Amino acid sequence: MENKIVVGVDGSAGSAAAVRWAAQEAGRRHFGLHIVHGLRVAELYYGGGLAMPSKLVDSLREAGDQLLADAEETAREVVGELSVYTEMPTEPPVPLLIDLSREARMVVVGRSGRSAFTGMLVGATAATVASHAHCPAVVVRPREGGELPVSGPVVVGIDGSPNSEQALAAAFEEASLRDAPLVALHAWSDVTYDDFYGASRLPSPWEAIRDEEERLLAQRLAGWQEKYPTVEIRRELLRDRPRHALLAHSEQAQLLVVGSRGRGGFTGMLLGSTSQALIQHAQCPVLVVRPEKAK
């Protein structure tokens, strides 16, 4: 694994925001920045395997070169002294970014791209990369109006699953790097009591279990607090779906951190419902941590 951050660009406003965010993070960590644009050569053919005219292919390559040059200029405007490498392979963006994530510390994509359908707030590239990346993946979502948040806490969702423990480790590192407080949200259940009991709504057992859940949350955080003693921790316990509180916190946070698959996640579901909701609707960048593979 190399000390670099990979960011994909396609010329959209979303990818420009991703470059700015990735450059800032590369500078913060003293990492290199690898900017890539997939040329999609497979799409440059007519039916029957007939290639597009060479002039059209050349013009697309020129446009791609200009796109990468603009992205590099944007990155250097953010961090002047930055090691930047640009590349334009002849591969579709999704498999390209997933393959590059094998040797990167982080892979970054914008919230949407040129191929996004109307009404889809996150393009297929962002959602698929977040589902399959071999390293932490960030979907860069700016505030309404296009501004990237530069202050506020790092917020992490914790549900007790192994994947959320990995997200917690990443969140402490991010909070420490930013000198930011860490808000740890612990969800007791992914199912609301209204959903479970319906209109009858039996008395909630929340009061009986709250003390125990607070104790367990404190235990989960204790070891990390010793490792990162300067990080201020704010604990919150939830008894409803975590996505609601996480989305509300995203309005003030500079970064949300979640596992790609939580306690209720199925093996075949590579991106859980909470992380799906966040990368589509959050008001700040979302860091998705994939489960570590068994060795």
Confidence category of residue 186, pLDDT binned at 50, 70, 90: confident
Give the list of residues 6+ apart from residue 39 with CB closer than 8 angstroms, or none: 60, 61, 64, 88, 89, 90, 91
Has residue 74 got a pLDDT over 90? yes
- Domain containing residue 237: CATH number: 3.40.50.12370
Average pLDDT, the chain: 81
Q: Are 5 and 104 in contact (CB under 8 A)?
A: yes
Enumerate the H helices of 1-141 as residue ranges. Answer: 13-29, 54-78, 93-100, 124-132
Stretch 267-281: mean pLDDT: 70
Say what percent of the chain tops pLDDT 90. Answer: 44
Has residue 53 got a pLDDT over 80? no
* Structural domain harbouring 165: 154-289
Stretch 167-184: mean pLDDT: 95
111 and 204 share one domain: no
Cα angle 38, 86, 270 (rounded to 5 degrees) comes to: 50
Has residue 273 got a pLDDT over 90? no
Stretch 247-275: mean pLDDT: 73
Stretch 229-239: mean pLDDT: 88
248 and 172 share one domain: yes
How far apart are alpha carbons 159 and 242 in whole angstroms? 9
pLDDT one-digit tens code per residue, 6-40: 999 988 888 999 999 999 999 999 999 999 998 76
Instruction: Round the CA-based radius of gyration of the chain to a whole number and report it.
Output: 21
25 and 125 share one domain: yes
Last residue of a domain, one of 140, 175, 208: 140
Number of domains composing the chain: 2
Stretch 139-167: mean pLDDT: 88
Last residue of a domain, one of 83, 111, 140: 140
pLDDT score of 51: 57
Residue 206 domain-assigned? yes
Residue 60 exposed, middle or buried by CB count within 10 Å (0-12, 13-18, 19+) = middle
216 and 259 share one domain: yes
pLDDT one-digit tens code per residue, 202-217: 455 666 677 777 887 8
Confidence category of residue 190, pLDDT binned at 50, 70, 90: very low
pLDDT score of 78: 95
172 and 208 share one domain: yes
103 and 198 share one domain: no
